[in-house]
Amino acid sequence: MVTTRGDLQPADIRPEDLASGDFPAPWTRFYPSGVPPATDPPRYRLLGEAPADLAARRANATAFWTILPNGFNGRLSFAEVDRLSDTFAAFLREELRLRQGARVALQAPNGLAYPVVVFGVFKAGCVLVNVNPLYTPAETAFALGDSSPDVVVAIDMFADRLAQALARPEAAHVKPHIVLTQAASLFPAPERLLVGWAQKRLRKEIPTPDFPAIPFAEALARGARRVARGVSLRAYVAGLTPDSTACLQYTGGTTGIAKAAMLSHRNLIMNVSQFLCFVGSAIREDDHVLTVLPLYHCFAFTVNMLGFFFRGAANVLIPNPRPLSNLRKAFARAPISFVTGVNTLFNGLLHERWFVDAPPKSLRLSVAGGMALQDSVAKRWERVTLTPLIEGYGLSEASPVVTFNPVLRVKPGTIGVPLPWTQARVVDAAGRDAASGEPGELIVRGPQIMAGYWRQPEETALALKDGWLYTGDIATMDEEGYVTLVDRRKDMILVSGFNVYPNEVEAALGDHPGVRECAVVGVADPLSGEAVKAYVVLDDRSLDAEALRAFCKTRLAAYKTPKQIEFREQLPKSPVGKILRKDLREAPAPRAGRA
């Protein structure tokens, strides 16, 4: 097993990681009791040290628990995560002969194989490449062609898409080893075999790969034999430093162009330390966090998988949350005390009768991020569950968490205050600090900020300037340091010279009890340059556009009120449930319909 070095020594901490002369910042006055402006040095130097430490402290406690919609489930203890990730590391280095720093792409939904592969990659001294399993072949080809992985670990359900991706010109130079996992990998044998049989024979969900592939179980068996012979896992990470790249995290970034943020071991470990220090005892060892967001997404990767794992708590993994009734067995079987998600997840659960009629009694706290949390959703969540829904903010380039609301001093509508060791400013177009309450671009710096974008120096130069990450988000900061996210700079609508922020219009529409969800974009207008257009999914089918406009006019200035309203059965969403405004902007005008 890999042993941890314990606490970092002073020489391992860079000067910029420590509280600078700018501290104490105004927001530190509102930190929870006992939270300093800067956290204590983190427990680990490298991410691969964590499993052995947790195995020593919480050996038999549940670390990961996957619950399928039919109730079939499997668990891994902290000791099992440590043992199995050792074997996967040995498989990569001894069987596949990977070198230190080699890239391993992981393209799979939430499941027990995910943390085993992740920590195995880290223990092997390799670099993890998180890839969305729902990518089209073209998108997968771009990610694989860009990152050039030596190994791809993928779910067997999408083997045909992977084959198509590897056949495309942009990925033609990639010749990886391929390891295929299953939906029920590492489940008890009876359930694993039954799920596999049903997927392959009954539902015909498992295509036959047209490339050589190694089953995940075989990879672990081969690695276990290597470990039994006495390989030195410590040698795999010799020479790595906290600044070594741990992960390539693909993102649209601050400019909307697909690219990979290079996140180091220090970035991710520090961000977990910042977050756990800030929330303190709000996250406990006996917690069970519902991990609905996919682990390839930076929010779930850092906060759920790493954060709750480091704390010694359990992740309840949901492979596929659609439809939301897929979560019902998880709430019934596990004592869910924590939920993380995006606004659409919480809004969706509030429209599920089974959830509203019997909200989980064990629930204690929920955290929203990834997109703006609507005030109406937060208030209704608290009424239904009798527990708070707290908003934070982050982005992949920041590993990702930047701000969070103090648990005991929440300001509704804000994304909270900067985490310990994090500095934030709101600046105007000239880079000057905006006045309190005035909108500007949010820029941040701290030990969680990426080194840059993989092989994209021009994009890196646009995002990182003098140590500050320019987020591309428009925000305000009040006198106490609480930040309110106004909108993405690229989503702002200019109506006759006036700025209109879609989040504000969406919040007003969302207050109407007959609106289930909505999205707002700008469209060309011959008179005003741009006009506000709303796409709306209704709960109350009797509503028409004029009634909604009249409702908005009681809350918004006339130029902010939607000029066009289009009703939809559903809105386009990303795999994490974030509404895709860009898809709506690019959508052709409807031939007919209510508008």
Helix (H, G, I), strand (E, B) or coil at 318: coil
Q: What pLDDT was estimated at residue 449?
A: 97
pLDDT in tens, 265-292: 999 999 999 999 999 889 999 999 999 9
> Over the stretch 206-216, which tens digit does the pLDDT of each residue have?
998 889 999 99
Please, what is the end-to-end C-alpha distance for the chain in angstroms?
63
pTM across the whole model: 0.85
pLDDT at 34: 75
In a domain, 37, yes or no: no
580 is a domain residue:
yes
Q: Which among 594, 533, 531 has a CA at the least distance from the CA of 567?
A: 594
Q: What is the pLDDT of residue 24?
A: 55
Question: What is the per-residue pLDDT across 37-78, written as a single tens digit (0 to 9) for each?
Answer: 777 778 899 999 999 999 999 999 999 999 999 999 999 999
Number of domains in the chain: 1
Query: Which whole number is the average pLDDT over 191-206?
Result: 90
What is the arithmetic mean of pLDDT over 212-231?
A: 97
Helix (H) or strand (E) holding 531: strand 529-538
Between CA 594 and CA 545 the distance in angstroms is 8
At 117 the pLDDT is 98
Neighbours of 57 (CB within 10 A): 11
Q: How confident is the model at residue 343 (pLDDT cuts 50, 70, 90)?
A: confident
Q: What is the pLDDT of residues 482-504, one digit of tens each?
A: 999 887 777 878 786 677 878 88
User: Rounded CA gap, 135 and 115, in Å?
Assistant: 21
Please tell me the predicted confidence (pLDDT) of residue 20: 41
Domain holding 518, by residue range, is 492-586
Q: What sign does the CA torsion over 207, 208, 213, 214 have?
A: positive
User: Are the C-beta atoms of 27 and 482 separated by less than 8 Å?
Assistant: yes
23 C-beta neighbours (distance < 10 Å), count: 14
**Residue 18's pLDDT is what?**
40
Q: What integer is the mean pLDDT of 514-534?
A: 88
Which neighbouring-strand residues pair with 515?
538
Per-residue pLDDT band for 574 (boundaries 50, 70, 90) equals confident
Instruction: Look at residue 312 and tell me if it is in a domain.
Output: no
Instruction: Pinpoint the alpha helices (H) of 20-68.
Output: 50-58
Give the CA radius of gyration of the chain. Answer: 24
Q: How far apart are alpha carbons 64 and 313 in whole angstroms?
A: 9
Supply the DSSP symbol for 300.
I
* 511 within some domain: yes
pLDDT at 494: 79
**Position 17 pLDDT exceeds 50:** no
416's tokens? 């909270």
Instruction: Among 35-49, 208-222, 381-395, 425-439, name the one with the lowest average pLDDT.
Output: 35-49
C-beta separation of 523 from 565 below 8 A: no
Pick from 169, 287, 154: which is nearest to 211 by CA? 154
**pLDDT at residue 529, rounded to an integer:** 77
CB neighbours of 473 closer than 8 A, spacing ≥ 6?
Answer: 395, 441, 442, 485, 486, 487, 488, 489
Mean pLDDT of 80-104: 98
CA distances from 35 to 148, 229, 302, 378 (A): 42, 46, 20, 26
The mean pLDDT of 86-113, rounded to a whole number, is 98
Residue for token pair 């207008």: 525
What are the structure tokens assigned to 286, written together? 């006996």
Mean pLDDT within 549-577: 89
Whether 566 is covered by a domain: the verdict is yes
Within a 10 A sphere around the Cβ of 529, how many other Cβ atoms?
13
Q: Is residue 505 included in any domain, yes or no?
A: yes
Q: Whose CA is closest to 260, among 394, 165, 397? A: 397
- Separation CA 157–CA 199 (nearest Å): 9
Query: What's the pLDDT score for residue 256?
Result: 59
Return the bridge partners of 76, or none. 64
CATH classification at residue 575: 3.30.300.30
> Quick check: is 458 in a domain?
no
Tell me which residue of 140, 114, 139 sits closest to 128, measured CA to CA.
Answer: 114
**447, part of any domain:** no
d(CA 360, CA 334): 10
